[in-house]
Structure 1
Amino acid sequence: MFLLLKHRDLFMQLLKRDVLMRYKGSFLGIAWSIINPLIMLTIYTFVFSVVFQARWGTAAVGTNKTEYALLLFIGLIFHTIFSEVVTRAPGLVLGNPNYVTKVVFPLELLSIVSLFNALIHSIISIIILLLAMFFIAGQIHLTVVLLPLIYIPLCFFVLGISWFISSIGVFFRDTSYFINIVVQILFFVTPIFYPVTALPESFQPLMMLNPMTGVIENARAILFYGNLPDWVWFIKTLGISLVIMVLGYIWFKKTKKAFADVM
């Protein structure tokens, strides 16, 4: 927060440039931020609920395809924030060599810009989700006002990972290839297509160590079920994410002194 306040003007300039560059030269422009999640949602819903006949949870009576699509969409929205920021991280510093030579330029701001770019597009997806819930179910749960709380541990976690990976990417140029594989693996071991309760009990504690699990499950509780978040789970997720962010920041600050020597 202090970093943003100190460099707020620079941050806004970088964020504006980052958002505009994302769709530069494309015919549909920012409309892709709506089209892309809808296409992916349609594909995944068809594959898992129609082809594989997947149902939500372990109940004998599963959810219908519309409910499954909404639950799936919530998971996709939050995982997309993670995947976008993390897959961009290895090239953040490498892609801006001119900033490295400027001693006064806060390189750690690049990860924050990348995160906020992803957050902006996630808000568009959230609006689409809420509109769909209103037209399908006829209501939007009042618990939606608690949604900003869910973003806090997500931002901490993603930011810490981004700082760490963007630093590693400077020294090891193969980092991006490795990260792409890891993100694909995490896509299936994060409860996006299924709830945690669908797993054997012996695997559930291991799954709960993943901060994304707490974020996605609490987001579903708030948005789909109209329940309050699991506060114990929220505090644990927040604590783990905060530690990761602090460690990532310390690592980045320690290693960025050597960036100019290897670029």
Structure 2
Amino acid sequence: MLDSVVTQIKYIFSQRSLINQFTRREISNRYKGSYLGMIWSFITPLMMLTIYTFVFSVIFQARWGTTGETSKVEFALILFTGLIVFNVFSEVVSSAPNLIIANSNYVKKVIFPLEILPIVALGSALFQTLISYLILLLAILVLTGTFYWTALLFPIIILPLLLISLGLAWFLASLGVYIRDIGQIISIAVPALMFMSPIFYPISSIPEEFQFIYSLNPITYVVEDMRRAIIWGQQPNWSWLIIEFFVGLVIAVLGYIWFKKTRKGFADVL
């Protein structure tokens, strides 16, 4: 079993040139034909940050925690950090059901590695995430005059969520070929999951009897650790980070196995 997993990892790694090429094309196509082009990568997160902050901190008068001492600037940074984490998951999972259908011309090409398509989707989403992350660091530095070394732990903290996203993408990409309704289901489930994650509110504000539900949500731990490291300069919860890494690894492996087992019927269905 282990030898098979290692072999598949080597195989995917051998396709890195093709993955890089497709990822670049995906990023380029996202802004193709627009006047501002890649500038939208910076404008979009800034606009969403402004809108969410205005709605929650100005209209709803929301404050972080029970004391209500959080300033609007800190609230904006806290909110933006949670959105960065969720958006990478959301973009990958939301696009997954249509990945094979949208690239059906590659299905009948036996030599084309269809399994790289979810990786390409992850790479494209990660590109936007990195830009948003840099904007966040710059905003913290300019608005608060602080920069914590723990912010450099960003790749380690987000890795489990990337593995989970990739595993789900392989699973949903395959399932979307056989069950076309899966795309509609995901379009409802993802926004619901956003409000079921501690993005717009701290986990401490959740009634104790419901906190076990949030403990089952892998996004919860990543969001909380990201805020600890970037906003408050604290180290992540290493115990949960290690556990979630292995959970993500299992989901990624199972999703890949599912994809490989079911891809044989893609051509017949499409």
Letter in 2 for 1:205: F
Deviation at 1:3, TM superposition (A): 4.1
Distance 1:62 1:257 in 2: 57
**2:15 corresponds to 1:28:** no
The residue aligned with 2:132 is 125
Letter in 2 for 1:25: G
Distance 1:116 1:236 in 2: 24
Distance 1:69 1:47 in 2: 11
Which of residues 242, 245, 253 in structure 2 aligns to 1:246? Answer: 253
Map residues 148-187 of structure 1 onto 2, 5 A cutoff: 148-187=155-194
Which SS does the other structure have where 1:254 is aligned?
helix
Deviation at 1:46, TM superposition (A): 1.1
The residue aligned with 1:197 is 204
Deviation at 1:140, TM superposition (A): 0.8
Deviation at 1:53, TM superposition (A): 1.4
**2:114 corresponds to 1:98:** no
Distance 2:12 2:232 in 1: 34
**2:96 corresponds to 1:89:** yes
**2:234 corresponds to 1:227:** yes
Structure-1-length-normalised TM-score: 0.96
Which SS does the other structure have where 1:118 is aligned?
helix
Which SS does the other structure have where 1:173 is aligned?
coil
Distance 2:256 2:247 in 1: 14
The residue aligned with 1:42 is 50
216-225 or 239-248, larger mean C-alpha shift: 239-248
Distance 1:78 1:61 in 2: 24
The residue aligned with 2:16 is 8
Which SS does the other structure have where 1:107 is aligned?
coil
Where does the alignment leave 5 or more consecutive residues of structure 1 unmatched? none
Deviation at 1:151, TM superposition (A): 2.1
Which SS does the other structure have where 2:263 is aligned?
helix
Deviation at 1:239, TM superposition (A): 2.5
Which SS does the other structure have where 2:96 is aligned?
helix
Q: Is residue 143–residue 227 contact of structure 1 (8 Å, CA) maintained in 2?
A: yes
Distance 1:48 1:6 in 2: 46
Distance 2:144 2:49 in 1: 18
Q: Is residue 211–residue 240 contact of structure 1 (8 Å, CA) maintained in 2?
A: no
Which SS does the other structure have where 2:100 is aligned?
coil
Question: Over residues 160-187 of structure 1, what are the superposed CA-to-partner deviations in whole Å (9 max), with x where a residue is unaligned?
Answer: 1111111111011222111110011011
Structure-2-length-normalised TM-score: 0.94
Runs of 4+ aligned structure 1 residues displaced above 2 Å come to 1-4
The residue aligned with 1:75 is 82
The residue aligned with 2:69 is 62
Deviation at 1:240, TM superposition (A): 2.1
Question: Over residues 77-108 of structure 1, what are the superposed CA-to-partner deviations in whole Å (9 max), with x where a residue is unaligned?
Answer: 11110111111111110011121111121111
Question: Over residues 13-64 of structure 1, what are the superposed CA-to-partner deviations in whole Å (9 max), with x where a residue is unaligned?
Answer: 1111111111111111111111111111111111111111111122x23311
Letter in 2 for 1:80: N
Which of residues 110, 116, 121 in structure 2 aligns to 1:109? Answer: 116
The residue aligned with 2:262 is 255
Letter in 2 for 1:24: K
Distance 1:118 1:26 in 2: 19
Identity of aligned residues (%): 52
